[in-house]
Amino acid sequence: MPICLITGANRGIGLELARAYARAGTTVIATARRPADATALAALAAEHPSLTVLPLDVADAASIAALAAAIQGRPVDLLIANAGVIGPRGGIDDPANTAALWAEVMAVNVTGVYLTVRAVLPGLRAAKAAKVAILSSRMASSKVASGSSYLYRASKAAAANIGANLAVEMKPAGIAVGIYHPGWVKTDMGGAGADIAPAASAAGLVQRFTHLSLATTGVFEDYAGASIAF
């Protein structure tokens, strides 16, 4: 039975990915910063006993170490680095773009991705043909730069860069790595005016993750399979 580990699975796209994999019969390790508050995830776990909820704050090294200890010895076939924050959306003069917020957004969207992958690496190595999916964004692409949301764009570009390097480094170990834009999705982050529902994004992403292989490792694409330039 394949095992899928998802970060930030208590709401939004992460929750819908957890639902899709649980319904498909995959063993899911769904992480949340505060499992006690993750009521939708608890309901999903009650419906699907193959889904386990574990605590994980990707900006907290001790929390990452605790996750690594909790899953020690278990193979992980698919790691989905989904947890993310958007930060202030303004331009260069936006007073909200403080050094403290830069550090916070980078800690979650960049360092959080790196440290989570590293912590789960023993599990990925123990699985056959393991995969890592990094949720970046089309906004990471320098080809669609429009001047705004500096913290988010820069952090998601860095996350995509981590994915590209990881793909090269992990290929000899048989681990494929993909970088994804989930679409503009109606979540707390995407807002009510976004293009698609979280379930539609998750359905597309699941297909893309299935398609990911060592032949396509390093891919940067959206939930429908359209290629994105770094």
**To the nearest whole angstrom, how small is the minimum distance from the Cβ of residue 215 to ligand NAP?**
25
How far apart are the C-alpha atoms of 39 and 45, rounded to whole Å?
10
Convert 65-93 to b/e letters by CB count within 10 Å (16 or more is b): ebbbeebeeeebbbbbbbbbbbbbeeeee
What is the spatial distance between Cα 170 and Cα 80, in angstroms, rounded to a whole number? 16
Shortest Cβ distance from residue 155 to ligand NAP (Å)? 9
Q: Among the options 150, 152, 180, 223, which is catalytic? A: 152
Known catalytic residue at 152: yes
Q: Does the footprint of ligand NAP cover residue 228 (CB under 6 A)?
A: no
Which of 2, 4, 6, 12 contacts ligand NAP by CB under 6 A? 12
Whole-angstrom Cα distance, residue 129 to residue 181? 23
Please pick, from the candidates 66, 194, 203, 224, the single residue that binds ligand NAP as defined by CB under 6 A: 194
Residue 97 or 187 with smaller CB distance to ligand NAP: 187
C-beta of residue 67 within 8 angstroms of C-beta of residue 54: yes
Give yes or no for a contact between 38 and 32, defined as CB atoms under 8 angstroms apart: yes
Q: Are 56 and 64 in contact (CB under 8 A)?
A: yes
Q: Binding segment for ligand NAP among 21-29, 90-98, 188-196, 213-221 (CB under 6 A)? A: 188-196
DSSP secondary structure string for all residues of 214-227: TTTTT-EEETTS-B
Q: Which is nearer to ligand NAP, 40 or 214 (CB)?
A: 40
For ligand NAP, the closer of residues 126 and 161 by Cβ is 161
- For residue 81, list its beta bridge partners: 134
Which residue spans within 66-161 are E strands per DSSP?
Answer: 78-81, 131-135
Q: Which residues from 103-132 bind ligand NAP, rule CB under 6 A?
A: 108
3-state secondary structure of 210: helix
Instruction: Please give the residues from 32 up to 91 whose contact with ligand NAP meets the rule CB under 6 A.
Output: 33-34, 56-59, 82-85
Report the C-alpha gap between 206 and 229 in whole angstroms: 21
Q: Which is nearer to ligand NAP, 85 or 121 (CB)?
A: 85
Among 44, 51, 115, 135, binds ligand NAP (CB under 6 A): 135
Single out the residue of 131, 153, 181, 208 in contact with ligand NAP (rule: CB under 6 A).
Answer: 181
| Listed residue (167, 185, 186) closest to 223, CA to CA | 185
Interaction of residue 222 with ligand NAP, rule CB under 6 A: no
Known catalytic residues are: 152
Q: Which residues contact ligand NAP by CB under 6 A?
A: 7-8, 10-14, 33-34, 56-59, 82-85, 108, 135, 137, 181-182, 184-185, 187-190, 194
